[in-house]
Amino acid sequence: MTVKLFLESDNTVVISCSQCNKTKNLDAKRIKGTRIKAKCSCGHISTFQLEKRRHYRKETDLRGSYRVMPSGTTPPDSGMMTVVNLSRNGVRLKFNTFPALNIGDVVSIQFNLDDRNHSLVNRDVVVQNVDGPYVGARFHRSSNMDNVIGFYLFK
């Protein structure tokens, strides 16, 4: 079984043996890649996945719509998209018909969470990376929706 590890504020990770519960702090700077195999003094070998993101990212399949905010280089565009993962800071989107986007473009997105209230999320995001039909984006400004998204992520 692979266990996810998240970075602590001091750039370390804590690994724990699932057999004997011994723990050890590791300096994340010394870890190459994202998969770690560690052998405990009890002889048990554990596999870990290092998550270098600051916040937990939840895999989702939330359908919604988007509207590209016009800029000097990007014409206005709108259509349907899917939120494929969500974190407190941003989203990864998959577009049905891929719009012309550049890093730094602002896109207004709207989708419903699959929580009990089907909470409507209406946020502006800034494009951080473009990869085929997928776009990684961070939330443009803080909003009262931040708490709703935060509660959703930890359910």
Q: Could you report the per-residue pLDDT of 98-145, keeping only the tens digit for each? A: 888 889 999 999 999 999 999 999 999 999 999 888 999 999 887 767
Domain parsing of the chain, residue ranges: 2-51, 58-153
Query: pLDDT, tens digit, for every residue of 6-44?
Result: 777 788 888 888 899 899 888 888 777 778 888 999 999
Are the CB atoms for 94 and 130 separated by under 8 Å?
Answer: no
Tally of CA atoms within 13 A in the half-sphere of 132 that contains its CB: 1
Pick the CATH number of 58-153 from 2.70.50.30, 2.170.150.20, 2.40.10.220, 3.30.365.10: 2.40.10.220
